[in-house]
A and B are shown apart, each in its own frame.
Chain A
Amino acid sequence: MTFYELANPHRFTALARWLVPALALAAAVLLALGFVLGFRAPADYQQGETMRIMYIHVPSAWLAIGIYTLMAISALGTLVWRHPLADVAAKSAAPIGAAFCLMTLLTGALWGRPMWGAYWVWDARLTSVLVLFLIYLGILALWRAIDEPGQAGRAVAILTLVGFINVPIVKFSVDWWNTLHQPASVFRLGGPTIHPAILTPLLITAAGFGALFLALLVAAMRNEILRRRIRTLRLLASAEAR
């Protein structure tokens, strides 16, 4: 099934029918496995048990950035290649990305209080993630504000691309500025610096959250396709009624 064949709503709905449960199951299994392994691993000698929050905080941060990147690629798909499903994907991904960004901020605050003594500090990493969250909210608002789906898709696509400048800032903020936040320990040039006993559960839970995101995304895209079909039907009906 090629990328363009997927654009057919029927094919997509048929795909979604088995793909969503499969992904949801994979997510459940991976998350369960990851959390069990994660809690079995030895606690950090400095932070104690609070490092367990990492298994949620880090994957949600990766997703917050990764989903925005996906939205940016979809934006290019809308503006440059005019793929029919591109703006459906972008619209469906936005609330999920915003939710994971919120999860990052909240779990980070709950981790920061026992670790640094403060729920929030205005350092570069936290501030840029908060800005990312505000950009997400702006994108969500813009989706709702324009009625015609195609026009909304194009407007949001441009806004998404403009906002993408924040993504490298979030990623490199801990390198460029003096921050309180932990510097990069997984995605760095020299390879990860975390002990495998902790890294493995982290990667498993990250995969679990990734599968969860994909399940939610495909399901939400199916909903959006239905929503547009209904809108078209309503427009046709009211046009014929005249």
Chain B
Amino acid sequence: MTHALRAIFVRDLTIAFRVGGGAGTGVVFFLAIVTVVPFAVGPDLPLLGRIGPAVLWIGALLASLLGLDRVFSADHDDGSLDLLLLAPQPLEMIAATKAAAHWVATGLPLVVAAPLLGLLLGLDAKALGAVTLTLLVGTPALTFLGLVGAALAVALPRGGLLVAVLVLPFAVPILIFGAAATNAAVGGTLPFGTPFKLIAATSLAFLVLGPVAAAAVLRQIRD
């Protein structure tokens, strides 16, 4: 089974990094949000430093959500989704593998870009470290949660934005915990460990729930 799953992982990753694959778009969008906020808020550096972690988290959330609708739809369009549905490997494992590939292609670049963009927002070293760490642990939650939306997108002709709308309410707790963890590290009242453990727990939970729900959707919406 691992041989097949590794093949799917490599295939998804390769497609993502090709032209039109969408791997870089997320980071560019991330950069766009982070550059736009200071223009809107004004060059008040201390204020930017205070809201900086939140802005980075919002940027990561939106950038993650936007790429989701292609995860299964691309396979649906070229017919490979039917093959995956017929495969002997459990659909949940296939979905999880695709999610992992999607995270490496879109989520991980966000985590790598975050410290650099944080400098634009005037974050100090401790805040940069905290944001990067929470994003590293939290972006998988976003990807695996969004997998359900990606599966629904197969049934929707003009899915893209609707998928983001559907997934957003569930992403709210992740955002709350992620921002809480970052703010705790920068000097809030909570110890960093409490929200950090919550976001790690959320990621682990969605690591399981996401593929299970996505596989259920894919099976149910087969025409």
Q: Which residues of A approach B to under 8 Å, CB–CB?
A: 79, 127, 131, 134-135, 137-138, 141-142, 145-146, 148, 151-152, 154-155, 157-159, 161-163, 166
Across the interface, which residues of A come within 8 angstroms of B223, CB to CB? 148, 151
Shortest 3 CB-CB contacts between residues of A and residues of B: A154-B220, A134-B169, A138-B166
Q: How many angstroms from the CA of A7 to the CA of B78 in the assembled complex?
A: 39
B148 sits at the interface (CB 8 A): yes
Q: In angstroms, how far is the closest chain B Cβ from the Cβ of A242?
A: 21
**Contact indicator A158/B216 (Cβ below 8 Å):** yes
Q: In angstroms, how far is the closest chain B Cβ from the Cβ of A234?
A: 19
Nearest to A169 among chain B residues (CB) is: B173
Q: How many angstroms from the CA of A135 to the CA of B172 in the assembled complex?
A: 11
**Contact indicator A135/B220 (Cβ below 8 Å):** no
B40 sits at the interface (CB 8 A): no
**Contact indicator B152/A142 (Cβ below 8 Å):** yes
Q: In angstroms, how far is the closest chain A Cβ from the Cβ of B212?
A: 10
Interface size for B (C-beta < 8 A) is 21
B221 sits at the interface (CB 8 A): yes
Q: Which residues of B approach A to under 8 Å, CB–CB?
A: 148, 152, 155-159, 162, 165-166, 168-170, 172, 209, 213, 216-217, 220-221, 223
Q: How many angstroms from the CA of A145 to the CA of B166 in the assembled complex?
A: 12
Q: How many angstroms from the CA of A157 to the CA of B223 in the assembled complex?
A: 16
Q: Of B162, B172, B213, B220, which one neighbours A142 at CB under 8 angstroms? A: B162
Total A-B pairs, Cβ < 8 A: 61
Nearest to B172 among chain A residues (CB) is: A131
Q: How many angstroms from the CA of A234 to the CA of B217 in the assembled complex?
A: 28
Q: In angstroms, how far is the closest chain B Cβ from the Cβ of A150?
A: 9
**Contact indicator B155/A146 (Cβ below 8 Å):** yes
**Contact indicator B217/A158 (Cβ below 8 Å):** yes
**Contact indicator A134/B168 (Cβ below 8 Å):** yes
Across the interface, which residues of B come within 8 angstroms of A142, CB to CB? 152, 156, 162, 166
**Contact indicator A154/B166 (Cβ below 8 Å):** no
**Contact indicator B156/A163 (Cβ below 8 Å):** no
Q: In angstroms, how far is the closest chain B Cβ from the Cβ of A95?
A: 17
Across the interface, which residues of A come within 8 angstroms of B155, CB to CB? 145-146, 151-152, 155
**Contact indicator A162/B213 (Cβ below 8 Å):** yes
A162-B169 contact given A145-B156, A145-B162, A151-B155, CB 8 Å threshold: no
Across the interface, which residues of A come within 8 angstroms of B221, CB to CB? 146, 151, 154-155
**Contact indicator A137/B165 (Cβ below 8 Å):** yes
Q: In angstroms, how far is the closest chain B Cβ from the Cβ of A200?
A: 36
Q: In angstroms, how far is the closest chain A Cβ from the Cβ of B72?
A: 13
Q: How many angstroms from the CA of A154 to the CA of B209 in the assembled complex?
A: 18
Across the interface, which residues of B come within 8 angstroms of A162, CB to CB? 148, 170, 209, 213
Q: How many angstroms from the CA of A161 to the CA of B214 in the assembled complex?
A: 12
Q: In angstroms, how far is the closest chain A Cβ from the Cβ of B172?
A: 5
- Sample 29 A-B pairs with CB under 8 A, ordered by A number: A79-B220, A127-B172, A134-B172, A135-B169, A137-B165, A138-B165, A141-B165, A142-B156, A142-B162, A142-B166, A145-B155, A145-B159, A146-B155, A146-B156, A151-B155, A151-B221, A154-B221, A155-B155, A155-B217, A158-B148, A158-B217, A159-B148, A159-B152, A159-B166, A161-B213, A162-B170, A162-B209, A162-B213, A163-B169
